Structure 1
Amino acid sequence: MTLLPVALGGTELVAWRLDQAVHAPTWDSGEGAYRVGGRWNSKGVRAVYCSLDPATAILEVAVHKGFRALDTVAHIITAAVIADAGDVHVVDPASVPNPNWLRPGIPGAGQQAFGDDLLRRHRFVAIPSAVSPYSWNLIFLADKAADAYTLKFQEAFGLDTRLHPPTA
């Protein structure tokens, strides 16, 4: 089923995430971010990274793993419905202290501390994606938002094979 985004008449705010199939049952645990940290959280913080559209969720994984991995390793795409859009804090890009934090690159300690603070203060945080600055990520703390969303579905993800063409 193709869900319509709110901008096109959909009625639900949906968070999207793409995981290796083996990790799909624990998609909302924040385990990966807890172990290694992320762009907007320091190590030891159980942040769950999603996107506000499925294409951005795919790009966010592809930028780290490549299209080959998305084509050859089983992945699951997850859709979760945010119960109350009013729980989402939208970060104004102009309010980010260092504009380089919104660009591709290795996150620094200041960026992670900024994100940790946002996540402590807000149930959900929407922030522009570094992969595509016209797209948005949605981040939340696993324990803080557990009762504020419902799983809509999880299904096998199939990469368009044109993104991993044969080599000559």
Structure 2
Amino acid sequence: MTPLPIALGGTELIAWRLDQAVHAATWNSGEGAYRVGGRWNSKGVRAVYCSIDPATAILEVAVHKGFRALDAVPHTLTAAVISDASAIHVVDPASVPNPNWLRPGIPSAGQQAFGNDLLMKHRVVAMPSAVSSYSWNLIFVASVAAGTYALRLQETFALDTRLHPPAGR
């Protein structure tokens, strides 16, 4: 059962992440972001991207891979407890130098440098999602955030089959 968010009476802040099952054991390594960079980090920075709800975590992966891959390739949903909410730096969207950084698109060098700086200064960064602007992502570098989070659960992800119907439906 999905734990209730704090706002609805839950007692823990959960960071959600969706990975291919073959990478589940290294969910917090930041390897993918290290190799190619991401929206809020340049290549060479081991940023770990999570969301504050599982639906946003799914959309964040689907926007890159598509629902076909989520339907046909085994994935694992990971939940990690953020033990110290005061460790989270919430980015005010108005403080982002370029509002286009919060919209879908290819990240700029300036955007990645801005994110790198945040990730080195703060244990966990909360940033609005570009996929769903009313949702939030949690981003951290494991070595910087050590002791701030703990693995809660990992389970096999199963895509709702209506999101990848047969052709012609």
Shift of 1:146: 2.4
In the alignment, what sits opposite 2:13?
Answer: 13
Q: Percent identity?
A: 80
Does residue 150 in structure 1 map to residue 150 in structure 2? yes
Shift of 1:144: 1.0
Distance (Å, rounded) in 1 between the aligned partners of 2:43 and 2:142: 14
Unaligned runs of 5+ residues in structure 2 are: none
Does residue 141 in structure 1 map to residue 141 in structure 2? yes
Which TM-score applies when normalising by structure 2? 0.98
In the alignment, what sits opposite 1:55?
Answer: 55
Distance (Å, rounded) in 1 between the aligned partners of 2:78 and 2:108: 29
Distance (Å, rounded) in 2 between the aligned partners of 1:65 and 1:85: 31
Unaligned runs of 5+ residues in structure 1 are: none
Which residue type is aligned with residue 58 of structure 1? Answer: I
Alignment root-mean-square deviation, CA? 0.5
| Residue-pair matches, total | 168
In the alignment, what sits opposite 1:26?
Answer: 26
SS of the counterpart of 1:144? helix
Which residue type is aligned with residue 167 of structure 1? Answer: A
Which TM-score applies when normalising by structure 1? 0.99
Distance (Å, rounded) in 2 between the aligned partners of 1:119 and 1:39: 12
Distance (Å, rounded) in 1 between the aligned partners of 2:134 and 2:86: 21
Distance (Å, rounded) in 2 between the aligned partners of 1:136 and 1:83: 18
Which residue type is aligned with residue 100 of structure 2? Answer: N
In the alignment, what sits opposite 2:46?
Answer: 46
Question: 5 Å matches for 1:1-168?
Answer: 1-168=1-168
Distance (Å, rounded) in 1 between the aligned partners of 2:116 and 2:69: 30
